[in-house]
Amino acid sequence: MPEQVGLPPPLLWSFPAAQEITEVMEWRTDVLQAKLGEQRIALRPRPREIATFRHRLDALGMARAAELARAGFASDWLVPLWHMALQPGADLVQGASEILLDTGLSDFRGGERAAIAVDGEASVPVVIASVQADRLILADPLVLQLPSPTVVAQRVTVAPIRAGLLTSAVEIVRRRQGDGTVTASFLLRDAPDLAAPAMPIYLNRPVQTDQSLVRRPLTASLRRAVEYVDNGFGPVVVESMRDVFERSETITLKAQGLSARHALRRWLWSLRGRQTSFWVPTWGYELQLRTAMTSGSVLMRVAPVASLAAYVGRPIMLEMPGALRFRTITAAIVEGADHRLTLSSNLGEPVPLTTKVHFLTAMRSDADRVEIQHGAVSSEVTLPVIEVPA
């Protein structure tokens, strides 16, 4: 962020984050509902980002935090984003003008700053001249930023720096005279425009197949918008308000490792709050095969689970031995005690009797505010989603 003429330079919030970090993305969407569907209008092209950091500090650290807040509470701040921090791929040497690391996993920007922390101590800023895929090129050589001529990579943490504003009071909880926790929340400026991660695509929608979904309890609510008419004298009458069945769920996704954590952020970003729809498997094993299928067959014989009309047009996911496969049911008839379904195309390989088959549901986020909890080794988000017309 360029410094404005006549204003004091932004202060650096230099404390390393030693505990959980909360990242909030806030979009704004106007959802207009009709009897047969809905229209979603984006009112905010990029989200507002709020990052909350918790630092465990000694007496001197708490004193410095208090004085920093006193000196520049209403000013702009330089905020190291420790939830995007990386470890260099090689040792840092005084006099070097580059840092080797995978810049695609974070938000480093040319002309901006990065924070370097050694052994979890207070960070120091460096100016980035340019960003390459495998390294940061610095505007000036490393000298005073390092405590010794050579620092091994395992001792170093490098994080991007963004400009931000304090959004609430800086809180200090002192457990003992020399041990306490400082909490600060910043509204970040200059939100990036992240690209969606590579995901399976079916019928022009991405499919969320993250395996962490099946390791968590899936809570679902099934309903339809109706109005109950009761005059107090006769029977209660139910009138349908919309011709759309609503299935809402609360899903929890967990990402472990730098690549998975970055992919999770990119996917949440691509949803743009309540704007973008996607497929979610029910993971309910609804269609239980009665017979195996040959590679060229489009006929699937299953145990009855729905009326014949309810099958038609429903997308499904098959957990094949080599990959997940997606098809649509085009017809259904009764065959003895079972139902025989016709698929949109064959699988091109035999389908074993033990194959798990799930319905696919078109969903969107039911919240414009997404909160990610970043821990030391993993990130986790709980997201309410709701069914939309396919």
Q: What is the phi/psi pair of residue 82, to 5°?
A: -70, -20
Q: Dump pLDDT digits (tens) for 163-182.
A: 999 999 999 999 888 899 99
Q: Does 218 have pLDDT greater than 90?
A: no
Average pLDDT over residues 16-41: 89
Sign of CA dihedral 195, 200, 203, 205: negative
Are 255 and 378 within 8 A, CB to CB? yes
Question: Is 70 exceeded by the pLDDT of residue 140?
Answer: yes
Neighbours of 207 (CB within 10 A): 19
> What one-character DSSP code corresponds to residue 104?
G
Measure the CA–CA gap between 176 and 59, rounded to whole angstroms: 9
Cα separations (Å) of 36 from 308, 340, 381, 386?
A: 22, 29, 31, 15
Q: What pTM, to 2 d.p., does this model score?
A: 0.88
pLDDT class of 261 with cuts at 50, 70, 90:
very high
Residue 242 CA to residue 227 CA, distance in Å, equals: 10
Segment holding 116, helix H or strand E: strand 113-118
More confident residue, 42 or 219: 42
Question: Which residues are CB-neighbours of 140 under 8 A, at least 6 positions away?
Answer: 97, 126, 127
Residue 252: CA atoms inside 13 Å, Cβ hemisphere, count? 11
User: pLDDT grade, residue 6 (50/70/90)?
Assistant: low
Return left, alpha or beta for 383; rule: phi > 0 is left, psi -120 to 50 is alpha, else beta.
Answer: beta
